[in-house]
Amino acid sequence: MPTRTPSSDNPYLASYRNPVLQEVEAFLSATGMTPARFGMEALGDPRVVSDMRKGRDPRSKTVAMLRQFIARETANA
């Protein structure tokens, strides 16, 4: 049986990823922070934004950590 990979063409698969990716993209745009720096500071993973842009579906714990980082940085701005 073939395996399915996440695709931005499939709205069902993208529905979970898109909200947090949109939040990350808005944060990056507002702050000028690079995606690699964001990933390193938020998770210790410089590729997280790039991977999400390519279809990586983050776990709920990862989403929570990304949102906590954005909230903390926004509060400190």
- Residue ranges for the chain with pLDDT beneath 50: 1-5
Q: What is the pLDDT of residue 61?
A: 95
**pLDDT value for 77:** 78
Whole-model pTM?
Answer: 0.76
Q: What integer pLDDT is reported at residue 2 of this predicted model?
A: 46
- Helix, strand, coil in percent for the chain, rounding step 5: 70, 0, 30
Q: What is the structure's pLDDT at 16?
A: 52
Rounded to whole angstroms, how far apart are CA atoms 57 and 76?
28
